[in-house]
Amino acid sequence: MITVNPFSQLSGTVAPIMMQAFVIIMISLVIVSTLLDIIHKKNVKYFFENAKKAKKSAKKNLSTTEKTSVILKTIASDIATTSELGAGKRRVAHLLGMYGTILFWVGSVVMIFCYASPSSETPILWPIIWHLGAIMTVVGGSWFWFFLRVDVYSEAFPWYRIIQADLFVLALIACAFFGLIWSFLQSLSLENRWDATLFLALFIISNLVLFGGVYWSKFAHMFYKPGAAIQKNLAEADGSRDNLPPPADAPEQFGLGIKREEPKHY
């Protein structure tokens, strides 16, 4: 199963051009929904206005080299390895989900656009990337959903409590999970399998919810957070600190009470 391109097998009943059109539609939904989100919430306008304010209160003019260095460090640390989450379970779950999703999506695009034809021979690497990415996404997303969400971990809400903000992570987990099951059932190469068709339909629906629900979910945050992290680090480098006061010089004295339990209150 893990070495088989599921989209190549699917091309026996669904034309590759239809699969490619579906991917293009999903990408278009992300672009349009993100633009609508930007217009509605005015995120980009806020970032630019905040950057202008920070520039006026900057204590140091950063050179192009210094700015580039800050941006590269931010990409390598805050974005690529999510260092802001520390070294705990939350960071591991986030990295599993993030890189799993990237592998899953990249593998999907490559196999659909390059190797979806029944006559094409898919390099074994791409199905492995696709399946491994899906597994990582399910593991990381489920770990976060059941154990690490703030309202579950710190506020004692039940794991099955669902709000609008959960749309992205649930749709993402469902997409990878249904994709894996569909791939497995299809790899059995048995005729007239209603269950394979069922999970293919669930896979398609979860994709529609994931990419079609960008405007209502936290999907667009993937584009905002890198920009916010870069702006924050640039503000610290030039001394403007987003108009926040500098850290106090006094030592941190919290008393012995802070050692009584692991900090987990967000």
Does residue 261 sit within a domain?
Answer: no
pLDDT at 47 over 80: no
- Condensed to tens digits (0 to 9), the pLDDT of residues 160-214 reads 778 887 888 999 999 999 999 999 998 887 776 788 899 999 999 999 999 998 8
Instruction: Give the mean pLDDT of the chain.
Output: 84
Whole-model pTM: value is: 0.81
Does residue 207 sit within a domain?
Answer: yes
What is the reported pLDDT for 22? 96
Angle at CA of residue 236, ends 235 and 237, nearest 5°: 90
- Counting residues of the chain whose pLDDT is more than 90, the rounded percentage is 39
Quote the CA–CA distance of 93 and 116 in Å, as a whole number: 32
* Higher-confidence position of 247 and 264: 247
SS3 state of residue 158: coil
Quote the CA–CA distance of 16 and 116 in Å, as a whole number: 6
Does residue 210 sit within a domain?
Answer: yes
Does residue 66 sit within a domain?
Answer: yes
The number of residues in the chain equals 266
Q: Domain count of the chain?
A: 1
SS3 state of residue 121: coil
pLDDT at 110 over 60: yes
What is the reported pLDDT for 216? 83
Does residue 253 sit within a domain?
Answer: no
One-letter amino acid for residue 39 of the chain: I
Lowest mean pLDDT segment, chosen from 101-105, 135-139, 232-236: 232-236
Does residue 1 sit within a domain?
Answer: no
In contact, 187 and 5? CB cutoff 8 Å: no
Does residue 259 sit within a domain?
Answer: no
Does residue 256 sit within a domain?
Answer: no
pLDDT at 124 over 90: yes
Q: Tokens in use for 238? A: 């030039």
> Span 66-75, mean pLDDT?
90
Which structural domain range is residue 160 located in? 6-237
